[in-house]
Amino acid sequence: SAAEVIKDLKLENVHTRVGDGFKGWPEAAPFDKIIVTCSPEKVPQPLIDQLVEGGMMIVPVGERYQQTMYRMIKKDGKLERQALRPTLFVPMTGAAEASRERLPDPKNPRLINGDFSQAPPAGATNQVDFVPGWYYGRQVKRIEDSLSHAPYVRFENETPGLSSHLLQGIAIDGTSVGTIRLATRYRSDGVRRGDEADQLPAIVISFYDGVRADLGAEMIGPFRNSRSWRDASRLIRVPPRAREAIVRIGLFGATGVIEFDDVELKKVGD
């Protein structure tokens, strides 16, 4: 259907092919630039081979739910990489998925870098809002506290309704995990509701089935006003059909400041 649209638009310099992205397009190579819009665990060697010397590749690389978007330049046959930001793409299927070495463990779900102690990689762009393990940050900063020496994240927003959040995806098997405990430490300052009734800071977990159909969401919060550092936690039942989940933290359209540390998700029982 993409080919038909291109034909209808009379675009003569765009070409299409259906195939395994891991193998690239050897008949049309070499390429000056390659953009990959799904995530392999490692950059496929055929794509490296098909990129010209000095060429650029943009590709999300990593584990199924822990990926980083990289800008890569080919020099002397190898890729020099610069980390752009954490991200979450669908996996590259075919040969790339079949050769994946590190697989998620849906029977023992957990969050990565929930204490925010992991710093951005050297040379990464946007060092302030680059929070390893967490994606799609909006109006967020990773703070190194000189007094407590404990990193945390700060969300700050002045415009009602404007997004301020981070998220992280996990694999979770609802047939093996019946209950989870979601917990955090938080501090708030001058938090006020946004334009809508549900625009208040919280930690939200949304569940999805095997075809990513929405199974509903649960939360810790919402949090209001100003509070000194304190703990919050909740036991949450996992839908039996759940196979994936997204954990979101932030202001979600509220104004003011909220800070989070020690965000943790644990399976309850065997």
Instruction: List, for residues 152-188, the tens digit of each pLDDT value.
Output: 999 999 999 999 999 999 999 999 999 999 999 999 9
253 neighbors 160 (Cβ within 8 angstroms): yes
Please, which pLDDT band fits residue 128 given cuts at 50, 70 and 90? low
Token pair 């302030």 is found at 128
Question: Which candidate, 242, 264, 246, places its Cα nearest to that of 106?
Answer: 242
Instruction: List, for residues 200-255, the tens digit of each pLDDT value.
Output: 999 999 999 999 999 999 999 999 999 999 999 999 999 999 999 999 999 999 99
The secondary structure of 107-163, three-state, reads CCCCCCCCCCCCCCCCCCCCCCCCCCCCEEEECEEEECCCCCCCCEEEEEECCCCCC
Please, which pLDDT band fits residue 267 given cuts at 50, 70 and 90? very high
The whole-angstrom separation of Cα 68 and Cα 137 is 13
pLDDT given for residue 255 in this prediction: 97
Please, which pLDDT band fits residue 98 given cuts at 50, 70 and 90? confident
Residue 261: in which H helix or E strand, if any? strand 255-267
Q: Is the pLDDT of residue 64 over 80?
A: yes
Q: Six-digit token pair at 106?
A: 């849906």
Residue 232: in which H helix or E strand, if any? strand 225-237
Q: Is the pLDDT of residue 25 over 90?
A: yes
71 neighbors 59 (Cβ within 8 angstroms): no
Mean pLDDT lowest for which of 41-55, 103-117, 131-145, 160-174? 131-145
Bond preceding residue 109 cis, omega within 30 of 0: no
φ and ψ at residue 46, rounded to 5 degrees = -60, -35
Q: Is 186 helix (H, G, I), strand (E, B) or coil?
A: strand
pLDDT given for residue 121 in this prediction: 80
Q: Is the pLDDT of residue 40 over 80?
A: yes
pLDDT given for residue 260 in this prediction: 96
pLDDT given for residue 126 in this prediction: 67
pLDDT given for residue 72 in this prediction: 96
- DSSP states along 81-104: EEEEEEE--PBP-THHHHT--S--
Average of per-residue pLDDT values in the chain: 92
Q: Is the pLDDT of residue 129 over 80?
A: no
Q: Which residues on adjacent β-strands are paired with residue 266?
A: 181
Residue 157 to residues 42, 162, 258, Cα–Cα distance (Å): 37, 7, 9
Q: Which amino acid is at 12?
A: E
Q: Six-digit token pair at 115?
A: 């204490």
In the chain, how long is the greatest CA-to-CA distance? 63
pLDDT given for residue 221 in this prediction: 92
Q: Which amino acid is at 146?
A: S
Q: Six-digit token pair at 33?
A: 């630039």
pTM summary value = 0.87
pLDDT given for residue 26 in this prediction: 94
Q: Which residues on adjacent β-strands are paired with residue 207?
A: 216, 245
219 neighbors 202 (Cβ within 8 angstroms): yes
